[in-house]
A = this chain, B = another copy of it.
């Protein structure tokens, strides 16, 4: 059995949202599992000297148009959030709180957070909002609110972000297949080809 594919994303990243909708299906077509790693992309941006896409002159306008266009093309919900980008600490910490015991539940929470933020355009930076999203998934509200303040989960998110940086991750989404890195929602075709041929 091969190691799981590693899927890195920031919950405030539109291209992460588009890729998350596809990555598990793509991998399962090749009998592969996917481990998800939400990270704080801001830490990578400090190293690469990048700014959030939406804040960049000319490029920001292009990206806003591109997100709306991609959503239309993929036929998935899209509402440009007013507050963008945001720090998604609460959702990311809650993810790591859940993922060791129940990775499928952690993924459902991340998907719900993405849908709330980019599908409905609702700010997800507040922990109470994450609790609202989590409850319908059967996650106990008070336990989640405590977990996102727990130093263990805070540290876990920092550690996972640092490990991602050490592994060469600098953007969202970023996919590592058996040591081979692929950056961007546009590179899923290449991931697929790589899986098909076992490298080339």
Which residues of A line the B interface, CB within 8 A?
44, 47-51, 56-59, 61-62, 65-66, 72-73, 165, 168-171, 181, 183-184, 186-187, 189-190, 193, 200
Chain B residues positioned under 8 Å from A44 (CB to CB) = 58
* CB-nearest residue of chain B to A167: B58
User: A72: shortest Cβ distance to chain B, in Å?
Assistant: 7
Please state if A58 and B62 are interface contacts (CB–CB under 8 Å): no
Chain B residues positioned under 8 Å from A49 (CB to CB) = 51, 56-57
Which of B61, B72, B170, B186 is in CB contact (< 8 Å) with A168? B61
Please state if A186 and B187 are interface contacts (CB–CB under 8 Å): yes
* A187 CA / B185 CA spacing, docked (Å): 11
User: A163: shortest Cβ distance to chain B, in Å?
Assistant: 14
Please state if B168 and A62 are interface contacts (CB–CB under 8 Å): yes
Please state if A168 and B48 are interface contacts (CB–CB under 8 Å): no
* CB-nearest residue of chain B to A73: B200
* A108 CA / B50 CA spacing, docked (Å): 36
**Given A44-B58, A48-B57, A57-B170, 17 additional A-B pairs, CB 8 A:** A47-B57, A48-B56, A48-B58, A49-B56, A49-B57, A50-B56, A58-B170, A59-B170, A61-B168, A62-B170, A62-B181, A65-B181, A66-B183, A73-B190, A184-B186, A186-B186, A186-B187
Chain B residues positioned under 8 Å from A170 (CB to CB) = 57-59, 62
